[in-house]
Amino acid sequence: MLLEVGGLVKRYKTKDRQIVEAVRGIRFTLSAGAILAFLGPNGAGKTTTIKMIAGLVRPDDGDVTVEGHSLSGRSGQALRHLGAVLEGSRNLYWRLTPLENFEYWGGIRGLSRKTARDRGRELMREFGLEDKIGSTVQQLSRGMQQQVAICAALIHSPSLLLLDEPTLGLDLDASDRIQDYVLRLAHERGVGILLTTHQMEVAQTLADRISIIQNGVLTLEGLKEDVLARFTGSSYVFELAEAPSAEARLLADDLGAAWTGECEFRAVLDRPTDVYEIMRALEPCAVVRVMRETADLATVFREHTRKPVPVENIREVTA
């Protein structure tokens, strides 16, 4: 198995000296060539988990194994197989050119200067950026900088790539190029990819498997198609003749309404007959349209994370 995350726990001490568990026994695996979207609301423990996998934060319990090498044991061998592009981290030196960055990061990974330069040129060609290799990073567009950061993370040909918000803030063309490249890395070269993003459309396009973390606990996991199928057929769109009263809106909220406008909302229902319960809650406001829809990942995420989750709900995910 490429990546094994075994029972990771991370505790922090608050200002009033209380102990808070940010991550509570996370377990999952990732195989070569698979893309796992690791999703969760802000504060769920997602970034802390990723940083433990990347070796940037030491867990209080549990371990991470990459290509059979333990981070708690021989971390150097484990990290040799890992590349990472983390949002908010210094992935590149902006006053250096891409080629100089490749020499620096490749040297840290044990590559010779020539190997790092040759590999860097090859990666830049794959993104169509060979003419930018002599420009400083700060002269490049945001999309180009992100593509160069991915090249730097791949300079040592890792088998595992961590991508934290790889398309955040990018225009459509740059986002499409990165998504296409990520799919090729996984499906053509067998690189295992752990992806975190708040852009559900990106996760739905790229991922083979989905995991959702809440309150430091994995609460939903599975093949993307299976996860979407769980919600398909139970998701409905309601369109109203006029905006409901505040009281009626609150009643609809209690029944699972997620409003997309003054007169429109979505709801995932346990039973088709629950449609009538919502309609009664909205009276005297008229419902002019009810449509069952195929759930997308945004709907699944919104509905799944809407309610608090028991701490005991720890699930294992395999990709």
39-82 pLDDT, tens digit per residue, is: 999 989 999 999 999 999 999 999 999 999 998 877 888 889 99
Same domain, 12 and 44: yes
Task: Summarize the confidence of residues 108-112 as an average pLDDT.
Answer: 92
- Determine the average pLDDT of the residues in 83-109: 90
Indicate the SS3 state at residue 47. Answer: helix
Q: What does the pLDDT read at residue 309?
A: 64
pLDDT at residue number 13? 84
Residue 159 lies in a domain: yes
The C-alpha atoms of residue 197 and residue 46 are separated, in whole angstroms, by 10
Please write the tens of the pLDDT for every residue from 255-287: 888 899 999 998 888 788 889 999 999 999 999
| Nearest CA among 217, 210, 215, 211 for reference residue 313 | 217
Residue labelled with tokens 């198995």: 1
Which domain CATH number covers 193? 3.40.50.300
Report how far apart, in Å, the C-alpha atoms of 103 and of each of 57, 84, 222, 226 are: 26, 17, 39, 43
Claim to verify: residue 252 and residue 136 sit in the same structural domain: no
Q: End of a domain among 195, 223, 251?
A: 223
pLDDT of 315 higher than 70: no
What pLDDT is stored for residue 313 in this prediction? 46
pLDDT for residue 105? 94
Using pLDDT thresholds of 50, 70 and 90, give the confidence band for residue 112.
very high
Residue 290 confidence (pLDDT) above 80: yes
- Decide if pLDDT at 316 tops 70: no
87 plus 200 within the same structural domain: yes
- Give yes or no: residues 87 and 153 share one domain: yes
Look-up: residue for tokens 């484990």? 78
User: Is it the case that residue 312 has pLDDT exceeding 60?
Assistant: no
Same domain, 165 and 24: yes
Same domain, 177 and 124: yes
Q: Tell which wins on pLDDT, 198 or 270.
A: 198
pLDDT confidence bin for 184, thresholds 50/70/90: very high
Q: Are residues 271 and 247 in the same domain?
A: yes
Considering its fold, how many domains does the chain have in total?
A: 2
The verdict on residue 125 lying in a domain is yes
Q: Could you tell me how many helices (H) and strands (E) the chain has, helices first?
A: 11, 15
Residue with tokens 């009643």: 251
Q: Do 129 and 256 share a domain, yes or no?
A: no
| Three-state secondary structure string covering 228-292 | HHHHCCCEEEEEECCCCCHHHHHHHHHCCCEEEECCEEEEECCCCCHHHHHHHHHCCCCEEEEEE
For residue 310, tell me if it sits in a domain. Answer: no
The whole-number pLDDT of residue 17 equals: 83
Same domain, 166 and 62: yes
Residues 197 and 166 in one domain: yes
The residue segments making up the domain with residue 286 are 233-293
- Does residue 313 form part of some domain? no
Minimum mean pLDDT among 30-44, 128-142, 210-224, 227-241: which range?
Answer: 227-241
What pLDDT was estimated at residue 72? 86
Query: What CATH number does the domain containing 279 carry?
Result: 3.30.70
Preceding omega of 310 cis (within 30 degrees of 0): no
Helix (H) / strand (E) containing 3: strand 3-13
Q: Kindly give the pairing relationship between strand 69-70 and strand 61-66.
A: antiparallel
**Are residues 85 and 163 in contact, defined by beta-carbon separation less than 8 angstroms?**
yes
**CA-CA distance, 266 to 79, in Å (whole number)?**
44
Which residue is listed with tokens 């990347």? 54
289 and 168 within one domain: no
Which 3 state secondary structure label does DSSP give 33? coil
Among residues of the chain, what percentage have pLDDT more than 90? 72
The answer to the question of residue 308 being in a domain is no
Question: Hey, how many other C-beta atoms are within 10 angstroms of the C-beta on 201?
Answer: 14
235 or 297: which carries more pLDDT confidence? 297
pTM: 0.79
